[in-house]
Amino acid sequence: MRVLVVEDQDDLREVVVETLREESFAVDESADGEEGLYKALNWDYDIVVLDVMMPVMNGWEVLDGLRKEKQTPVLMLTALDQVCDKVKGLNHGADDYLAKPFDLTELVARVRAVMRRKGGDHCPEVTVGKVTINTTAKTLRLGDKEVEVTAREFAMAELLIKHRDEVVTRDFLYDHLFDENDESMSNMLDVYVYKLRQKFGKSFIKTRRGQGYIVETS
């Protein structure tokens, strides 16, 4: 899952980015609205975490600019917590709203909730064949047995399960699993697929030659 964090306050942006990375998201960051809007329009993010009070271009303007072209989920992050501000944010097309100062755990939970809603899953636990994923607890089970996976492996499994019964292209996987700072080679994808097949059986991820990968429910 790839996230864009647009926040002008350096310390805050850093900690939000780090936290989300630890939650196995691929995270890009922007220090001002203009750059943030550019990135949001040019990459397909799964969610944008957007601050309101920013230099050059504020959060409302970024949101308006983004909504003209895309339906990327947006979580507004701001120091304004008046009801009218929240209403304004939601009316402008924001998917959720969090006032500063916030709890990091709440931020992560809200980010996940917004993404789940967009993906059509309302429950954090989804089972595909013998494999069960819990996006909140960040666990993967084969049958009843919990299987240990790395953050990247989990992210890949999550993405494939979210788009189950669809062919997921390598480009899509690449865009959503690695952030702008990753200099991973494209064969890294093959490594993660290989490792997941090792842990969950060969039939968990099927290869469609020349197209990509697919996880099938039956």
Partner 1 sequence: MGIFPQSIRWRIQLWYLLLLAVIIAALLAAFHRNQREIKYQVLDRELSNPITRLLPNLERRPESPPRGRRLPRLDLLEDFEDEPRPGLEGGGRRSPRGPDPLERRRVNLDELVEELAENGIFVIHWSRGGELRFASENSPEELRSFPDKVSREGDRVSKETVQGYREIIHASPNVGILVVGASVKPIETYLSKLETKLIGIGFLIIVGGFLVGWFLIGRSLKPIEVISGVAHRIAEGNLSERIKISGNGSELGQLSMVLNETFEKLETSFEHQVRFTADASHEMRTPIAVILSKSQFALSKERSPEKYQEALQTCVDSAQHMRTLTSGLLELSKVDSGEFHLRPELGNLEELTGEVVKLIEPLADDRGIKIKCNLRSMKAEFDPSKMRQALLNLLGNAVKYNREGGEIEVTLNKIGPEIFWSVQDTGLGIESVALESIFERFYQVDKARTRTGRNGTGLGLPITKAIVEAHGGTISVVSEVGKGTTFQVKLPAG
Q: Site residues (CB under 8 A) for partner 1?
A: 8-12, 15-16, 18-19, 22, 31-32, 53-56, 79-80, 82, 99-105, 107
Least distance in angstroms from the C-beta of 114 to partner 1: 18
Least distance in angstroms from the C-beta of 127 to partner 1: 28
Least distance in angstroms from the C-beta of 97 to partner 1: 14
Least distance in angstroms from the C-beta of 35 to partner 1: 11
Residue 29's DSSP bridge partners are 5
Nearer to partner 1, 13 or 162 (CB): 13
Nearer to partner 1, 43 or 102 (CB): 102
Q: What is the phi/psi pair of residue 29, to 5°?
A: -135, 155
Nearer to partner 1, 104 or 188 (CB): 104
Nearer to partner 1, 36 or 119 (CB): 36
d(CA 82, CA 98): 11
Token pair in block for residue 90: 């939601």
β-strands 131-134, 139-142 pairing: antiparallel
3 state SS of 186: coil
Least distance in angstroms from the C-beta of 132 to partner 1: 24
Least distance in angstroms from the C-beta of 94 to partner 1: 18
From edge to edge, which strands make up the β-sheet containing 206-208? 168-169, 212-214, 206-208
Nearer to partner 1, 53 or 188 (CB): 53
Taking Cα atoms as reference points, which of 46, 97, 52 lies closest to residue 70?
A: 46
Helix 33-42 vs helix 59-69: crossing angle, to nearest 10: 20
Nearer to partner 1, 53 or 214 (CB): 53
DSSP 42-91: HS--SEEEEESS-SSS-HHHHHHHHHHH----EEEEES---HHHHHHHHH
Token pair in block for residue 200: 């969950």
